[in-house]
Amino acid sequence: MLKAFRKLWNDKRGNALIIAGASLPLIMGSVGLASDTIQWALWKRELQRAADSAAIAGVYGKIQGASYSDAATQDLVRNNDVADITVNSVFQNSPSTGSYTSDPNAVRAVLSVKHRLSFSSLFMSAEPTITATATATIVPTGDYCVVSLENTATTGISVGGTSSVNLGCGMITNSTSMDAAVAFGTSTVNASPIAAVGGIDASDNWASGTQLLPFTMAQDDPFANVNPPTPSGCQKFSDLDTAGNNKPGGVVDLSTQTGTVCIKENGGTPASLDIKGDVRLGAATYVLDATSLKMTNTGAKLSCNGCTIILTSSTASTDGSSIGQVDLSGGEVDLIAPSSGTYKGIALYQDRRASNSSVKNTINGNSSSSYQGAFYFPNQEMVFAGTSGISTACVQMVARRVTFTGTSAITNVCPPGSGASSFKGRSVRLVE
């Protein structure tokens, strides 16, 4: 018996099978732990994505005047990828921890799950907890000189022809189109960032280094709190121009005017104030009641230092079509907006109740023209077609749609104390 056992002990046949059998628990344990690790990592990734999305949704909800927690909860319900797992959630505004505790716009999402792991549960007395956190808030995205308020699937900003646009700041549109901002032809655009709620047309016309920000949040109307005056005491322009020199070669000197001057022409709705001579306006607020501003004569000139021209109508509340438009497609234009007062920094203002969004307001001028201030056409299109050499010191454009066309050239440099300034952009971003 002892001899047989000794013989079996010294026999080396079948050693591999014995070793494999002895190693099997270690191999199975490694495979089990690897499987659990992969599952854990997958749940963690899905949970983090859900936390990121919920935090962003919470900020958007707050911006839109809804409950941040309701917005985050709805997003979690609709976009939770952690299948068959109950997710515990906590949403905070402002966060109780982190770097954004004093930020009134910040929303923090804390998500956690407990779930059984196939292999590890054999040795664990309780299910493990997986946690993911995310904080989102509103961050600045740049300074904008051009704001398109178009909020449909129509292109909001268009640059074509041989236009040369050098803003020294950015452009943004609320258009939801995949081509919300486009540049084509031989145009060149030096403006950054270019932002849109929708997509942005990829183009070589954008200058090198231009920051493109598609699918960003909508830009508020920067002049939403600036309202037009109610027209009163209106008279025809000829009543002001008592010498009757608003004709080619004539001079109309009204440079001493101050306060508010209301002008209402006859002959249509809206009627038209047609500048034909050399018209020099004083530093006043000029209210055009149901009257358009027109200057198409190449020899005409319109100048004003410290004035705002407002297009509105005494019947605007019931008839938006009575509000006039602007057609400055000829002659020399020199407009400088006031540096103080209600209409600080605004050179041309059109009542936001103006109807017919297909109407185009044309801003042009010859090479001697100059502009300083904002052009505001919130419900209609603005077309800038200025020629090369035109001076555009600190020009801002806020319109339903903004189009640069022809040989328009613009270079923006804002002088100190001009009263005009660029508009601050913002976007929702994950920050922690």
- pLDDT tens-digit map of 53-94: 999 999 989 888 889 999 998 888 887 665 555 678 889 998
What confidence score (pLDDT) does residue 174 get? 95
The one-letter amino acid code at 392 reads T
- Using CA atoms, how far apart are residues 167 and 191, in angstroms rounded to an integer? 5
Q: What percent of the chain has pLDDT over 70?
A: 80
Cis peptide before 415 (omega within 30 of 0): no
- Using CA atoms, how far apart are residues 412 and 196, in angstroms rounded to an integer? 21
Given a cut of 70, whether residue 319 has pLDDT beyond it is: yes
pTM of this prediction?
0.79
Q: Label residue 427 exposed, middle or buried (CB < 10 Å: 0-12, 13-18, 19+).
A: middle
CA 270 to chain centre: 32
What confidence score (pLDDT) does residue 235 get? 93
What confidence score (pLDDT) does residue 47 get? 85
What confidence score (pLDDT) does residue 228 get? 95
What confidence score (pLDDT) does residue 179 get? 94
Average pLDDT over residues 305-328: 93
- Using CA atoms, how far apart are residues 398 and 322, in angstroms rounded to an integer? 21
What confidence score (pLDDT) does residue 160 get? 87
Q: If you average pLDDT over every residue of the chain, what do you get?
A: 84
